[in-house]
Copies of this chain bind each other. A is one copy, B any other.
Amino acid sequence: MLDDRKFRVLYAIIDSYISSAEPIGSRTISKYYDLGVSPATIRNEMSDLEELGFLNKTHTSSGRVPSDKAYRLYVDTLVQSKVSAIDKKWKQEIQGVLSKESKELDQLIQNAGRLLSKITNYTSLAISPQLSETKIRHIQLLPIDDYQVLLIIVNESGVIKNTVFKMNRTIPEHQLTEISNILNEKLKNKTFQAINRDLAIGIYNEFSKYKEDLEGLLPFIGKSVNNIESTDLYTDGLTQLLNYPEYRDIEKAKSIISAIEDKDQLIEILQKGMFSSGIDVMIGEENIYEPLRECSIITTTYKFNGETIGRIGIIGPTRMDYAKLIATLKVFSDNISEVINNYNLTDKG
């Protein structure tokens, strides 16, 4: 698609623009990048690259700025070697912070987000663990008083969900225990998704003995299960964005910050790429959500038992050091997944 020299010119421009945020002229390239040709030649190449859609000018006599298409090419052709270089100091800090006991899974992800923002100097995004694919390990009903029952669900990753609900009649304790036992037997090791499906088609009506009670209870269980599947979005380091010249302009800053505050949209975006394993990079125009058309989002997955259960990443102007950030995210991905899986080392019973 591009001959070698064009390629190198384009790389040079991207590299330079990433660190300076200023349009790049031919002279700068010839001076600081060893391409062995004069500015005039570079000008010719630049002109071609512009025609091909890889470069833009801010005005007729300005230097060039990489387009989204250029970043795309840059990211797609990033060589592994370049990506792997991440500061050892950071690597250790990541391991340190993450392995520190954060009792709840949610909290682990939040901590990871905070650290990610601090390390990268970008705003971090993360969606809470998606547990619909994990299995139930324990389910229990407990009476709180005559009309209230507590439902507890523990899944294999150790996450607990509970709800109190009000009944319109009293179910004696021993009966609740019995129902618990039956439920436990029936639901154990099923995924939330499976349960939801089964509930929908009324598969549990077989407990004829407690039919009436169950009719009252099952909707609550369904609701609880559904609730577990609900997704939160964690963000951190919003102010980081304001350090970039791209957001000197208050209107621009406002637009991106409100976009980030619009959590539902972001959740949708992150979930969409949910199962594209590993790093996902969305550059500028590639974002379907209008207010993010001038941003890039880089995310990675975190896993439990080999299954992807969430994404974490960063957002910022399209001009970002993709190589370094991708490397950093890889480290995060590995470490988070490792910590999650270690949560339950003793849990095979």
Contact = CB atoms under 8 A, between A and B. Distances in A.
Contacts of A148: 346-347, 349
Chain A binding surface SS class? mixed
A77 interface: no
A160 B164 contact: yes
Q: Could you say how many copies of this chain the assembly holds?
A: 2
Nearest to A237: B261
Q: What's the interface size class on A, roughly? A: 35 or more
Contacts of A137: 144-145
B160 A154 contact: no
Given A239-B254, A250-B242, A261-B238, A150 B142 contact: no
Contacts of A160: 150, 162, 164
A147 B346 contact: yes
A317 to B, nearest CB: 15
Contacts of A146: 349
Contact of A142 (B140, B158, B243): B140
Interface string A231-254: 000001111001100011010011
A86 to B, nearest CB: 25
A257 interface: yes
B152 A162 contact: yes
B261 A242 contact: no
A103 interface: yes
A205 interface: no
Interface string A147-163: 11010101000101011
A153 to B, nearest CB: 11
A258 interface: yes
Contact of A145 (B162, B258, B347): B347
A324 interface: no
Interface in A260-298: 261
Nearest to A146: B349
A311 interface: no
A138 interface: yes
A166 interface: yes
A238 B263 CA distance: 13
A164 B160 CA distance: 8
Nearest to A254: B242
10 contacts: A138-B150, A142-B152, A145-B349, A147-B346, A152-B152, A236-B261, A237-B261, A238-B238, A242-B250, A247-B250
7 nearest CB pairs, A to B:
A145-B349, A239-B258, A242-B254, A239-B257, A146-B349, A160-B162, A138-B144
